[in-house]
Structure 1
């Protein structure tokens, strides 16, 4: 079969690569075209039609500012779909872009599979009605999504979470600290996001933390689509180490972490690293978001557990005093750490078993046969 996958950001690129690997095992003659990043390019052994580095824009204002780039990408993908007419279009999260592509594909008789549901449960839930019209099969990765879609009369396949697959395959790098030029001090990880906007909004404050915790080394998890020199632009003091393509090694060696809201919050929890979740964006974007979004939490950890397992510092609360105090609690308040780690173990149980990529690939191949 000919498969066309679309992932618009770094986390989707990782899940897309795992799905490509699983599809190749079941369909040895499979061919792939895709919008994605470095991980998908490596797994498929070919270049992306469009790379994620020019796809990911977060926030209402940021999307408007880049609307011409987004429209250009939409036009390019639509043309490419008609030129190659895949047997299966597999959309991975990234709903603002992918739902428009789904509608176009459906009109042109291309079968649409959606892997990793758009977060329609967070805002504008009536989008489910559109999904029912333009998506042939939906594969969800969060346990509470099954009941949500059921309320709207839509049957979906729950496949488990692909992060469990990626983490189960993780093999720690020997001598990680030495190879990355790190000292023997305990590590606090800084995960400032994978988009330019996220990094520019969050990294300057993160980079000011080390002077308050001299017994620790603060290490940045770099996004693969940026260079180390790019990160240096945000340091007002001493240079901080940046490691690329070793986020899991970094987390596995960390005592605590400061994490921008997104998939990384769940990854950090699954590695049992105490964390504080932060998020800052354009003020108008945040105002609109608070008007529209109907969930109690922004981090996946808290959303899945439906209790505040980790502290969330959003917008004005993302300030040096509050972040510094929370990092101090994570590092030095033993009962606080233990309670968070106990909640992480409950999260492990709720997440289920590994094998999401394989289950999804098997369902796709079955639906196509």
Structure 2
């Protein structure tokens, strides 16, 4: 069969690449055309129609400034789909773009599968009506999402969380060897995960690195995003601040704790069993707009949302400052709060189920 896949972000590239591997196990004749990144490219053996780094616009202001480019990409995608005529279109999160494409594809007679739900339970719940109209199969990865869709008369399938697949397949790692290969010194590591978009990374790294004078016994390592060039990070690097490119999982596994920008990375860090402090700050205008459109959501991190209680500390907007970062980082580096967090991470893994999300999703897609 012919599969057209659209992933517009780094996390989507990871999950879509694992889904492609699972589809190939069930459909040896599978043909792919895709929007995504380097991980999907490795599976397919050729590059994307569009790379996600050219699609990622964060925040209301940035989206508004780039609206012409976004609309141009939508028009191009529709033309490309019409020319390719896939047996199934697989949409991976990225709702602003993908729901428009779903409408076009469905009205054009294509089968539409949505893998990894947009966070409609947080905001824009009205978009569920579009999913009811234009999506044939809804495959969700968070336990509470199945009930959310059931409430809206959508029969969604909970397939498990694909991060468990990605993490369970990791080989063992030698910390000393990793440090040597990446020019790290012998101190214990605090990992910094500042995000994947240039404006976000700049803002977050300046805040994260402000804690350095209080943790001289540690070294800091920045997890480089594949969407940004290595040169971008050089101004932050010195004898005790290092840069590690495209090895985020390995870096985390070798770290004592992490400062993590909100998003999928908060869940990845928890599933790798690394205590963390969650950091979030956007422009004042974007944050004020966001507060008004996000409804009845108590947390911003996936860890806390899934557990429905505070497992990891979230420092948001004005709460994200040097004083609070130092205080919370000290708590997760040593002692009882650290151990409690690690115990909660074990409960989190149990709640998400075991390995097999990618295979389960592929089975539902291939069987038609």
What is the TM-score when the length of structure 1 is the normalising length? 0.96
CA distance in structure 2 between the aligned counterparts of 1:104 and 1:239, rounded to whole angstroms = 51
5 Å-filtered alignment, 1:1-369, equals 1-174=1-174, 175-233=177-235, 235=236, 240-294=241-295, 295-332=297-334, 334-367=335-368
Q: What is the count of residue pairs matched by the alignment?
A: 365
Q: Once the 2 structures are TM-superposed, how far is the Cα of residue 240 of structure 1 from its aligned partner?
A: 2.3
Between 1:254-263 and 1:193-202, the stretch displaced more is 193-202
| Contact kept in structure 2, 1:204 and 1:236, CA below 8 Å | no
Shift of the 335–127 alpha-carbon distance from structure 1 to 2, 3 Å rule, reads same
Q: Once the 2 structures are TM-superposed, how far is the Cα of residue 145 of structure 1 from its aligned partner?
A: 0.5
CA distance in structure 2 between the aligned counterparts of 1:236 and 1:139, rounded to whole angstroms = 41
Shift of the 23–236 alpha-carbon distance from structure 1 to 2, 3 Å rule, reads closer
Q: Secondary structure at the match of 1:182?
A: coil
Q: CA RMSD in A?
A: 1.3
Q: Secondary structure at the match of 1:126?
A: helix
Displaced runs of 4+ in structure 1, greater than 2 A?
207-211, 235-240
Q: Once the 2 structures are TM-superposed, how far is the Cα of residue 67 of structure 1 from its aligned partner?
A: 1.3
CA-to-aligned-CA distance 1:249-271 (integer Å, 9 cap, x gap): 11111111000000000010011
Between 1:154-163 and 1:61-70, the stretch displaced more is 61-70
CA distance in structure 2 between the aligned counterparts of 1:242 and 1:209, rounded to whole angstroms = 17
CA distance in structure 1 between the aligned counterparts of 2:65 and 2:204, rounded to whole angstroms = 20
| Contact kept in structure 1, 2:222 and 2:241, CA below 8 Å | yes
CA distance in structure 2 between the aligned counterparts of 1:301 and 1:250, rounded to whole angstroms = 20
CA distance in structure 2 between the aligned counterparts of 1:99 and 1:238, rounded to whole angstroms = 47
Shift of the 325–229 alpha-carbon distance from structure 1 to 2, 3 Å rule, reads same
**5+ residue gaps, structure 2:** none
**5+ residue gaps, structure 1:** none
Between 1:170-179 and 1:25-34, the stretch displaced more is 170-179
Q: Once the 2 structures are TM-superposed, how far is the Cα of residue 347 of structure 1 from its aligned partner?
A: 0.6
CA distance in structure 2 between the aligned counterparts of 1:200 and 1:65, rounded to whole angstroms = 19
CA distance in structure 2 between the aligned counterparts of 1:173 and 1:41, rounded to whole angstroms = 25
Q: Once the 2 structures are TM-superposed, how far is the Cα of residue 197 of structure 1 from its aligned partner?
A: 2.5
Q: Secondary structure at the match of 1:225?
A: coil
| Contact kept in structure 2, 1:139 and 1:158, CA below 8 Å | yes
